[in-house]
């Protein structure tokens, strides 16, 4: 059928386009997506090429500066970020105020927002040096804050970063290490997490990135803008989907439901139940990231001995969906988050941390897009119009 919401309705001098289905808010040279063909490129490089040959830190540099770094530049970039991983001791006080069962996403967004208070003299969006230092600080400190959010939920002491480790190794140790004990790094887990972060690193004008740009368009600093992006990502229709997928798979498993039975519920829109991890605003074909992640899920679960049954349920659901008219007609395919949850779970992360991992991956994209927005002379403060549907003039007391 025709998607009415997607049709532009011209009303006077404003365009009614709920969900911005057809409205571009920016010119951008960062990421290219062809949703019909299932193509994703960062700065012109195919995602498959980068997944095979690059690393998350290299891709972060590429997204932010537009070119792949030389080996020396990459080493200096990683070292610079490593040197900024320490967060002010007082930041830890913020974590004490949250309840123990607080979801780590709002804890992360609050602490990233709070971070701006520690650098209030160096966040002028039009000062290149200050933009540079904010970029480094965010990339360096967000993983530390993310690990604090995690440790807080476990009731465990926070770890200090260990800067002879690489970005992903450091983060894993911050999450799973215990003070005064050695943490054994599993190179397979490092490799898989590095890849997952890279695949999430940017996705043009999605909900959280548009949020970052909109907040930044008011010349809010990078910390405030990224914190807003984290809040947008928290939603289950966006980054929260990875957590929702695992909850769905578990539900199917624990209720002993057949994937076919679940599919019937989805198709009948029973209680608004959706096949989480399926469908995408832009991809009307297989999400190229999902393809890469699916094979990683199969490999890593063999190595880590994760929950094969959940992977099997996911694979069965996918198989059924791809052959089902409901999904075919609506062009619903697995998106990036359909298989990430089973991998994160096998790595030892609880469901609540999944979207935090997405945020960690998306961070370079948010930064690259914020910088592009600030540097673009055509940028204006984001200020959509509306179609007023309320009362005409009323008289008080009449
Ligand atoms: N399961 C079942 N039906 C679905 C699904 C799904 N996952 N996704 C869309 N549909 C149906 C809708 O019900 C609608 O059907 P209708 O025409 O009979 O009303 C049709 O497909 C079109 O869907 P919309 O919701 O209009 O598509 P939209 O582009 O607005 O939404 C979205 C995209 C939000 C991703 C949607 O597909 C969805 O909710 N998916 C599940 C959540 C999810 O996985 N989100 C992650 C997105 S990727 C990311 O942020 C990383």
Quick check: CB of 340 below 6 Å from ligand 1?
Answer: no
* 339 CA → ligand 1 middle, Å: 17
Q: Which residue is closest in CA terms to ligand 1's atom 12?
A: 330
Mean pLDDT of 352-362: 96
Q: Active-site residue 324, yes or no?
A: no
The model's confidence at residue 306, banded by pLDDT at 50, 70 and 90, is low
Query: Is the pLDDT at 158 greater than 50, yes or no?
Result: yes
* Per-residue pLDDT, 2: 45
* Per-residue pLDDT, 6: 47
Query: Is the pLDDT at 339 greater than 70, yes or no?
Result: yes
Percent of the chain with pLDDT over 90: 81
The model's confidence at residue 9, banded by pLDDT at 50, 70 and 90, is low
Quick check: CB of 290 below 6 Å from ligand 1?
Answer: no
Q: Which atom of ligand 1 is nearest to the CA of 274?
A: 1
Mean pLDDT of 181-187: 90
Query: Is the pLDDT at 5 greater than 60, yes or no?
Result: no
User: Mind listing the pLDDT tens digit for each residue in 193-217?
Assistant: 999 999 999 999 999 999 999 999 9
* 279 CA → ligand 1 middle, Å: 5
* 277 CA → ligand 1 middle, Å: 9
Backbone angles phi, psi at 335, to 5 degrees: -100, 180
* Per-residue pLDDT, 162: 95
| Other beta carbons less than 10 A from residue 253's beta carbon | 14
Q: Which atom of ligand 1 is nearest to the CA of 238?
A: 50
Helix axes 340-347, 308-322, angle to 10 degrees: 180
Mean pLDDT of 365-372: 98
Query: Is the pLDDT at 44 greater than 50, yes or no?
Result: yes
Percent of the chain with pLDDT over 70: 96
Q: Which atom of ligand 1 is nearest to the CA of 337?
A: 51
Query: Is the pLDDT at 379 greater than 80, yes or no?
Result: yes
* 280 CA → ligand 1 middle, Å: 6
* 193 CA → ligand 1 middle, Å: 26
Number of residues that this document lists for the chain: 398
User: Mind listing the pLDDT tens digit for each residue in 226-271?
Assistant: 999 999 999 988 888 888 899 999 999 999 999 889 999 999 998 8
Mean pLDDT of 166-181: 94
Given 194, 202, 287, 337, which residue is catalytic?
Answer: 337
* Per-residue pLDDT, 179: 87
Mean pLDDT of 157-164: 94
Backbone angles phi, psi at 9, to 5 degrees: -115, 115
| Other beta carbons less than 10 A from residue 285's beta carbon | 15
Tokens 């970039």: give the residue: 77
* Per-residue pLDDT, 148: 97
Average pLDDT, the chain: 93
Q: Active-site residue 132, yes or no?
A: no
* Per-residue pLDDT, 1: 40
DSSP characters over 206-272? -HHHHHHHHHHHTT--HHHHHHHHHHHHTSTTTTTHHHHHHHHHHHHHHTT--HHHHHHHHHTTGGG
Given 103, 202, 280, 287, which residue is catalytic?
Answer: 280
* Per-residue pLDDT, 297: 86
């Amino acid at each position: 059928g025709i998607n009415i919401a997607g049709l532009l309705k011209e009303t006077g001098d404003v365009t009614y386009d709920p969900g911005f289905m057809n409205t571009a808010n920016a010119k951008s040279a960062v990421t290219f997506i062809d949703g019909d063909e299932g193509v994703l490129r960062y700065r012109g490089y195919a995602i498959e090429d980068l997944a095979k040959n690059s690393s998350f830190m290299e891709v972060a540099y590429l997204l932010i500066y537009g070119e792949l770094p030389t080996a020396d530049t990459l080493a200096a970039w990683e070292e610079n970020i490593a040197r900024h991983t320490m967060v002010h001791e007082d930041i830890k006080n913020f974590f004490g105020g949250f309840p123990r069962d607080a979801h780590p996403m709002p804890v992360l967004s609050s602490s990233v927002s709070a971070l701006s208070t520690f650098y209030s003299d160096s966040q002028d969006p039009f000062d290149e040096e200050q933009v540079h230092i904010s970029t480094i600080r965010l990339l360096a400190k967000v993983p530390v804050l993310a690990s604090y959010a995690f440790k807080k939920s476990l009731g465990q002491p926070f770890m200090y970063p260990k800067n002879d480790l690489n970005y992903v190794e450091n983060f894993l140790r911050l999450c799973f290490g215990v003070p005064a004990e050695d943490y054994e790094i599993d190179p397979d887990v490092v490799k898989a997490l590095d890849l997952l972060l890279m695949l999430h690193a940017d996705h043009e004008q999605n909900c959280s990135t548009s949020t970052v740009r909109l907040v930044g368009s008011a010349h809010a600093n990078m910390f405030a803008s990224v914190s807003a992006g984290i809040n947008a990502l928290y939603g289950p229709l966006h980054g929260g989907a990875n957590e929702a997928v695992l909850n769905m798979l578990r539900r199917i498993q624990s209720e002993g439901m057949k994937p076919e039975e679940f599919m019937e519920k989805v198709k009948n829109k029973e209680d608004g139940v959706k096949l989480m991890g399926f469908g995408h605003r832009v991809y009307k074909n297989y999400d190229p990231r999902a393809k890469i992640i699916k094979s990683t899920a199969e490999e890593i679960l063999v190595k880590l001995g994760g929950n094969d049954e959940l992977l099997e349920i996911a694979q069965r659901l996918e198989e059924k969906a791809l052959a089902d008219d409901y999904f075919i007609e609506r062009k619903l395919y697995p998106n990036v988050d359909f298989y990430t949850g089973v991998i994160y779970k096998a790595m030892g992360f609880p469901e609540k941390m999944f979207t935090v991992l997405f945020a960690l991956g998306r961070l370079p994209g948010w930064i690259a897009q914020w910088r592009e927005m600030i540097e673009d002379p055509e940028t204006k403060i984001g200020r959509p119009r509306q179609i007023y549907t309320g009362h005409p003039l009323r008289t008080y007391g009449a």
